[in-house]
Structure formats: C-alpha cells, structure tokens
Amino acid sequence: MKIVTAVVLSTVIGCLAFSAQKVALPTDGDRIAKLFFVFLLTILVHGQIAGAGISPYAKMCGVDVQDVTWTEGFWAEKFELCRRATLPSIESALLDERNGAQLINFKIAAGLEQGSHRGTHWSDGDCYKWLEAMAYMFAVTRDSELDRKMDYWIGIIAKAQAPDGYISTTIQLDPQKKRWQHVGHHALYNMGHLITAACAHYRATGKDSFLNIAIKVADYLYTVFAPRPPELVHMDFNPSQIMALLDLYRVTGNRKYLELADIFITMRGSAPATPEEGRKKGHIGGTDQTQDRVPLRKETQAVGHAVTGTYLWCGAADLYMETGERALLKALERIWESARRRTYITGGAGALHEGLSPRGDIVHEAFGDDYQLPNRTAYNETCANIGYAMWNWRMLQITGDAKYADVMETVLYNSGLSPLSADGRHFFYANPLAWDGRDGWPTKHYTGTRWFVHSCYCCPPQVARTIAGLGRWAYSVSTDGIWVHLYAGNKLCTKLPNGSTVALTQKTDYPWDGNVKIFVTETPQEPWALRLRIPSWAKGAKLKVNGIPVAVKSGTYATLKRKWSAGDVVELDIPLAVRLVKPHPKMDDCRGRVAVVRGPVVYCYERPQGQPCVSLSPNVRLTPRYENGMVVLVGNNFTLIPYFAWANHGPSFMDVWLPLARRDRR
Ligand SMILES: [Zn+2]
C-alpha cells in the first residue's frame, strides 16, 4: 500500500515539477531523464512514508492501535475498564487540587485563569500521557466525546506554548525560575511526552493541531541542543524526548529529529562526574543515577533510576531501528542481560528505593546489583515496570526474538497491572512483592492500598496509555506476514506491506485457559506467514492448522507460511500447568522459598493482617478454580490469587515468594 501510494505521489510530484518548469520533452534522452527523476522521487517519498511502517533496521512493526478490537476475555475487560473508569478517574485527579499533576497549569499559562503553578515540575508530562491514552482510546472507539475533550485541551496547550516553541508550565509560571536552570525541572520529560502524545493524536484523528505544537517544540529543542552546549550536558534527566523525537521523525520524515535524538543519546555519559560527586546525595548528572557515568554505547550494565534507564534504552532501540548502528544494539543486548539479573519474577524493575550502584554512585528508585532483589522494599515503580515492557517490545520489533515478548507479557500480567485497582480508579506507585502492613514505609510511595490522588502522579496515566494502546503490542507486521505476540479475544484487520488486507479473529480465555483459536477471515491470494509466539514456559504446546498438527518449540515463534483461505482455523494449546519457581541462589530474600506461577500470571498469598504466611510442600497440590473473573489456585486450607489482584479488599499481608515446608523442620 505504502509503495503504491509512494509511486502515485511521486509521479504526481514529478509531473507537477516538470510542468512547473515547462520542460518540453523533445527527445528520448529527456524522457529517460524524466523517468529517472520520477524514480528518484519514488525512492525519496517511499523512504519518508516507509518511516511510519517497518523501520529499516527492525524485523517488524506493531500494527496500528485501531487495527485491533478487543472482543472478549482479559484484555477486552481491561480495555473497557480503562474506557469506563480509568480515563475518567485520571481526568478527575488532574482537576483535583490535592493532586501532583494539574491540568489547570495550562489554563494559567494560557492566560485563561489566574494563579500560580501547582503540583510537581513534571506535572505537564503526566497530563500529556493522559492525552496520549485518550488518543489511543479514540482511535479504537471513535468516541466523539474523547475527540472533543482532546481538542479542548490541545487548544489551551497551544495558547500556553511560548512563541519560540518552549512549553513547561513549571518554568513559565514562576518568574524566579529560568529555562534550563536545573535538571530537576524536568523540561525535557515534559516536552518529550507532549511530542509522543501529539504523534498519537495525529495518527488517531488525522488532525495536525497537536502535531504542529509538537513540531514547534522539537524545532525549539533543536536550536537549543543541536549545538551541544557544554553547560547543558547534564540537562537530560528522564529522557522521554528521545523516543518522542524518533516518533516525530517517523511521522514527519524530518531527519533533524533523528539527528537530535542521536545527540541526546551521545550527550549522556560524555561528561562523567567525579567519584566524590557520585557519592553526594541528591547529585544529578554524570553518575550512574541517570545512566550518565558511562556512554551508552560502552555500557555493560543496567544501572540507575529505573524509569530514566528504561526510557533511555527505549530511545536507543528506536534510534537503532532507524540507523542500524551496531554499537547501539550490542550495548542494548548487554544491558538487557544485566537487567534480567536485576528485575523481579513479576517483571518489576528498580529494586532499590535508595542504594549504591555497582560502581559506587548513590542511586535512588534504581536497579540494584545482580540478584539484589528484596521483596518488601522492592521499589518497582509502575512507570519503570511499564518502561521495561516498552523497551522489550522494541527489542522484539528489532530482533523477532521471543525472549523479549516473554518479558513484555510478564510485565503486562503482573507488575504492569498490579498498580491498577479492580475498580480501575485507584493506583499503586511502588509494587513490592511482599506486604507486612507498614503503610508508608520505607517511603510514602509504598502503600498497602491504592490511592486516587498522589503527590507524584506519573504512574496512573502510564497504566492508562499502556492498556488503551495495547492493540499495538498484540500483533506486528513484517515484510512476509503477521506475528502474534499476545493471546486474547480480539479481531485484527490490518494490511501487509504489499497493501493486501489480512483479517483474523482470535478466540480464547487466555491467560486463564490455554486454548487459542485463530480464524482467518480475510486473506490475500498469495502465501504469507502467520507467526505464533510459543512462550518459553509453554513446554508441550500443541499447534494445529485445520486440524493437522504442526511441531512447535517453546521460546520461539512458530512460523506457518502458506496460502491461506478465509475459514482456515489455527488452534494453539498452551499448557498452563502450575509451576513452582525456585529463586536464584543469590537471592538472599527468597532463600528457602518458591514462587507460584501459572502461564504468565504470578500468584501471591494474601491474608488478613497479622496472619502468618502459608508454607508449601514441594509437591503441593494447587487446583485452579475460576472465581470472580480470574483463576485462583486452591490448596489445602488456603487460596492463592494473581499478584495483580492483591489489595482490593482493604489492608492485608501479602507474599509472592512462599516458604517451603522443610521435612526436617520440627
Ligand atoms: Zn511513575
């Protein structure tokens, strides 16, 4: 489709260009020259348009969010909860003066209301994440009320933007503060999220109102950062702007955004702090806290703040997809291996509230050392867990390696979902793996129940934009077919790169039941490949095409390349046996314990406050039972529930890692 569009567009442009120049074509030589000119334009235009599809150094790209309609089961329920409860709850919180993120700041900056800035320095960024979530929701539902609401706030944001493109209300509304005065002002985080939300809005609505604001922002950032001013070398803290600039590059084709993204990646780690500065509490810049001690291309470890880290690696993965620079991919692969040893069975990222990096820098909200994974004090900020999934999704698009899809799915069913209450309106900030009733310890971010408003409101819109936009992660398109990453009841209707339409219907009650049926409802005549993810834990998975068995291997994508017909049925049976997972011997906090996992879902033992934890025998019988919309595991006098569902009935105690009953215990 894109190629066809490109050819048509370039032919039109080519003809217009020639008629504008009133070029006569008396000879064959001129005609050949004209054809060559059109051919060049075709390549150029196609290059621009292809930027919105599969990136040149990625194996695949996610489908458009509106290509997937959730129809039944787990993600259909969560999507509906997001539409009905989560997005309105976030809107109410953003308008509630007790909250850390505040929509009113835009009205004040626009001159529509009187007052001073309220909330955190990064309040703007969290408001943009809510707009991004609404854009995805609108793309799928076409709910005109969402469209109206987005138009309303975009109009105000446009008025709040400074004439030169700058926008960060925390600075604009405080005459005492100057632009680029302090890294803690989060200006790049704010403007990065604006750009991402604007690209989502443009794709969802086709309107350029928000996109034009974003282009002004990015052009302004280019004038400030492209000269690489040494005094701003540590100004980039939470780098949402890197992936944002790459998104804007894909939408507009303007290479200066690609160049600027590269500058931000290269700037980090180029001016390391002294070891003394690294040991100074609260110091930001040049240390492991912000992945700023070692240049990314030379990094070997996952260190520092877990949100800034995962966002940086997302940005670097996006940059690799466009440039193919091997040093970036090699570094990301090394960091990923390190991160595997520093993240939780729930996909939680950022073990430490406060501690030291392996290189001796003071870090907070950060990755710890290998297997330094405490349970009760696990920080696992919601934003970081989801950032980890975002990074793994990008690595999957680059490589096609199923190990990245496994991590992404682990986050989605566990640490990325535990922040959200069953009613869809309340949230966790920290996501520890054990709870002992000490509310607000060791910091206020650890709470035993979810809240509606919070002094730091970054996490709720992070959850909302993930659930609202999840269709993009369910399937990808590559040059020869479709990849299925997530199993859930849905209908897919998308286009292959050659422009032909593929439509599939997926029926399943996964993750509670492992049977997945995929019906082909529309297909081109030519053969194409349907690739199905076989999770690494799914030993003994069975696959059939129209009833005929096909061999599969866990931890890979099963490739079914054939001439498809409407009515073809693919049936996958994923075994969901309960697994008792042993901790790594170096995980001190888990010694003598096991975790219970079924499919991608991690279980926990929740109980009234003060009650001891249950002990499991190594051959414990746990019977799956469907109740209250989920599968619980019933043992002898106890019940385990999915980790994501804990703390929905008031304060409690909870453990993910459960002690093993030892035969020699007296
Ligand atoms: Zn957060």
The secondary structure of 481-499, three-state, reads EEEECCCCEEEEEEECCCC
As a whole number, mean pLDDT of residues 477-482 equals 97
Q: What pLDDT score was predicted for residue 662?
A: 76
Distance 270 CA to ligand 1 centre (A): 27
- pLDDT tens-digit readout, 422-439: 999 999 999 999 999 999
Q: What is the mean pLDDT of the chain?
A: 93
* pTM score, whole prediction: 0.93
Give the residue-averaged pLDDT of 491-516: 98
> Which pLDDT score, from 0 to 100, does residue 30 have?
54
CA 35 vs CA 5, 18, 38, 478: distances in Å: 17, 11, 5, 30
Question: Is it the case that residue 51 has pLDDT exceeding 80?
Answer: no
> Using CA atoms, how far apart are residues 473 and 59, in angstroms rounded to an integer?
14
Q: How confident is the model at residue 33 (pLDDT cuts 50, 70, 90)?
A: low
pLDDT at 3 over 50: no
pLDDT above 60: residue 47? no
**52 with 477: CB under 8 angstroms?**
no
Distance 457 CA to ligand 1 centre (A): 7
CA distance linking residue 163 with residue 433, whole number of Å: 48
Whether 562 has a pLDDT exceeding 90, the answer reads yes
Q: What percent of the chain has pLDDT over 70?
A: 92
Contacts of 381 (CB under 8 A, 6+ apart): 306, 307, 350, 365, 429, 430, 431, 445, 459
Percent of the chain with pLDDT over 90: 91
Q: Which residues are paired to 494 by β-bridges?
A: 502
pLDDT of the residue at 523: 98
Q: Which is nearest to 583 in space by CA: 595, 572, 575? A: 595
Q: Distance from the CA of 463 to the center of ligand 1, in angstroms?
A: 9
Q: How many CA atoms, within 13 angstroms, populate the side-chain half-sphere of residue 405?
A: 28
Residue 566 Cα to ligand 1 midpoint, Å, equals: 44
* Residue bearing the bigger pLDDT, 26 or 554: 554
Q: Report CA(237)–ligand 1 centroid distance (Å).
A: 14
What average pLDDT does range 534-559 have in this prediction? Answer: 98
Tens-digit pLDDT profile for residues 335-390: 999 999 999 999 999 999 999 999 999 999 999 999 999 999 999 999 999 999 99
Whole-number Å distance, alpha carbon 383 to ligand 1 midpoint, is: 4
Q: Is 276 exposed, middle or buried (0-12, 13-18, 19+ CB in 10 A)?
A: exposed
Please report how the helices 459-468 and 382-399 are oriented relative to each other, as an axis angle in degrees rounded to 10. Answer: 40
Name the DSSP class of 287.
S
Buried b (16+ CB within 10 A) or exposed e, 5-32: ebbebbeebbeeebeeeeeeeeeeeeee
Please say if the pLDDT value at position 156 is more than 70: yes
Taking the centre of ligand 1 as the mean of its atom positions, its distance from the CA of residue 316, in whole angstroms, is 21
| CA proximity to 655, closest of 590, 587, 589, 605 | 605
If we measure between CA atoms, which residue out of 306, 278, 376 comes closest to residue 588?
Answer: 376
**pLDDT class for 185, splitting at 50, 70, 90?**
very high
Nearest in space to 640 (alpha carbons), one of 661, 662, 619, 621: 621
Average pLDDT of span 158-172: 98
